[in-house]
Chains A and B, each alone.
Chain A
Amino acid sequence: MLLKLAWRNIFRNKRRSLITTSSIIFAVLFAVFMRSLQFGAYGNMLDNIVGSYMGYIQVHNKGFWEEKTIDNSFSVEEIEHLTSSENITYLSPRIEGFALASFKDESKPVALLGLDAATEKEHINLDEKVVEGHYFSAEHKGLLVGKGLRDIMKLKLGDTLVFLGQGYQGSMASGLYPIVGFIDLKTPELNKRTVIMNLDHAQELFALPGLVTTALVGIDGDDWQGAQQEVIAAIDTNALEVMNWQEMLPELQQLISVDKAGGTFVLMILYSIITFSLFGTVLMLTEERSFEFGVLVAIGMGKNKIIQVAILETILMAIAGVIAGLVLAFPIVLYFNINPINLSGQMQEVVEKFGFEALIPTSLDPSIALTHSGIIFLIVLVVNLYTIFKIKSLNPTTAMRK
């Protein structure tokens, strides 16, 4: 009966109920879409830079991150035992060096990345980033060149790059390598300066037999903090350093934090408006019906039951608003997940200046919808404190005199 009363009361003032429900629908739609876009953008950044390139955790020779020289290298044998840990799925050894790359009369300083082709293919799908030519194989040995560098140096498949640089302990690093493919690393900055070769070629080029500068640590699940502690506990930290993506890319972490705070501020404004809208409804509902509440108390209906009816009304409107909001938000979020927003003009320049791809896909993380639905219900409960207070303090004779 209480539910029936609450349900029918919603239709007593259809316009007001419609306005209230619409404001909830708008809030849910806007909040879910905005947060999906934000989290999608972060996810994309992390995926492009961290998940598919740097890894969440890296092990280096102590001091490598401060001074990225070939001399700061270590033997991968020192950490091979890590793969026996439960949360560590793989190790991918790399050499990160620098050299001057020349083709015809063009020379550019490039970041030379030597990696284990099979491991990177298996775990971070590096082969899927090849946009022209082939990934490394028995038949295709040579270089994968960032597509940005390709355009700058006007390179083609089969062209040969000449490298000149400094190898291990002051030795000369030089060599000629054919281009077997061009690669899109999803960040314009990386594309403009990265050249990838097989680890053994890089070791040969830099005169680093058996040594690497970096080892990516693959983790099981999302708990990179836990995995980092596990690695720290398992290796000699006097000789090696273990860094997570936030330590390696503090600017990315800061950018995400600042952007999140901005988003939270916008959402706070939105939710303040919704709170006042809902409070307006509750205020009118309570004031308009104080006579009726007085009558109900007079004829013997307990105040708690009246409170239940009044709260049920707003909860039912909130349920309708939240469901409708989510139903409307889902196809939009899904659409932009499949067809990410492609930034253009100034926005594209700004984003690319930070080294990120100017594509923003939305996130399909269900926790976004759950969080914002929860916030709406919390607001409903908070504004209903007024209803509870008014009904609890209601005097039937005073209420019926109004």
Chain B
Amino acid sequence: MIKVTDIHKTYDDGKVQVHALRGVDVEIKEGEFTAIVGPSGSGKTTLLNVIGGLDTPTQGSVSVSGIDIAKLSENELIDFRLNHIGFVFQSYNLIPVLTAKENVEFLMLLQKRDEAERNERTTKLLKAVGLEDQINKKPNEMSGGQQQRVAVARALASKPDFVLADEPTANLDSKSTANLLDIMLKLNEEENITFVFSTHDQRVIDRAKRVITVEDGKILSDVTK
């Protein structure tokens, strides 16, 4: 499903060259619950960005669902992300002026799905993340944990091939973290949704089914539990 082949990523600001990724090869299959771990600056976020088409590799290829995303134009990439990838961010990044329901519905509107389908799916997803009674609340009226659960529902709304989550529990307390992980694991197991995280949160690492450790831009270990 995701095939990363000999990926290199070098940042060059004209003075210093930073090699964020140095020849990474990895394959992630449908239904996996994978954590990419490593210390700060190890390259895990860069790897996630390259997989998500947010960053282009300096060298190598990234194939997602059979499409070499490195060859897509900017607009094609935006379209590709809309239809194939769900994103969950560390700081939730919900649209502040929209309610929980509208945030979840937002990507489906961009996909031009009809109202009945949008309503049905929004209700289902918000129920799945346990927020069916918070649908009309705006992000600033919800706790961090609740916002992150809305973010998960939003990520799933567009029916993506997989969900990329960049340190999704970094701003959550233990209870919210456990709650969020329960929801994501349940979605993974019951609906076969693929999750790929970058994290250095041991609570996430403990519950991940596969752990890829990155250090200095290279894969140090790849363990399937």
Contacts and interface: CB of A to CB of B under 8 A. Distances in A.
Interface of A: 1, 5, 8-9, 11-12, 292, 295-303, 305, 396-397, 400
Nearest to A303: B78
B145 to A, nearest CB: 19
Contacts of B87: 298-299
Interface in B114-171: 154, 158
B110 A5 contact: no
A295 B78 contact: no
Contacts of B49: 397
Interface string B47-81: 00100101100000000000000000001001101
B81 A300 contact: yes
B95 A300 contact: no
A38 to B, nearest CB: 43
A33 B98 CA distance: 40
B97 A300 contact: no
5 contacts: A1-B106, A1-B109, A8-B97, A299-B81, A300-B158
Contacts of B54: 298, 396-397
Contacts of A397: 49, 54-55
B34 to A, nearest CB: 20
A297 B78 contact: yes
B83 interface: yes
A237 to B, nearest CB: 67
Contact of A5 (B52, B75, B81, B97): B97
Nearest to A291: B93
A396 B45 CA distance: 13
A400 B45 CA distance: 12
Contacts of B75: 302-303
A396 B48 CA distance: 13
B97 A9 contact: yes
Nearest to B45: A397
Contacts of A300: 78-79, 81-83, 85, 107, 110, 158
Interface of B: 49, 52, 54-55, 75, 78-79, 81-83, 85, 87, 89, 93, 95-98, 106-107, 109-110, 154, 158
Contacts of B98: 5, 8
A354 to B, nearest CB: 58
Contacts of B52: 298
Contacts of A5: 95, 97-98
Nearest to A401: B45
Contacts of A400: 89
Contacts of A299: 81-82, 87, 107, 154
A41 B177 CA distance: 73
Nearest to B74: A303
Nearest to B109: A1
Nearest to A295: B93
A11 B81 CA distance: 30
A303 B75 CA distance: 8
Contacts of A301: 78, 82, 110
- Residue from B85, B93, B96 whose CB has the most chain A CB atoms within 10 Å: B93
Given A11-B97, A295-B89, A299-B87, 8 more contacts: A5-B95, A292-B93, A298-B81, A299-B154, A300-B78, A301-B82, A303-B75, A396-B54
A402 to B, nearest CB: 12
B22 to A, nearest CB: 19
A334 to B, nearest CB: 39
Contacts of A305: 110
Contacts of A1: 106, 109
B57 to A, nearest CB: 13
A5 B49 CA distance: 27
A299 B49 CA distance: 12
B170 to A, nearest CB: 14
B97 A12 contact: yes
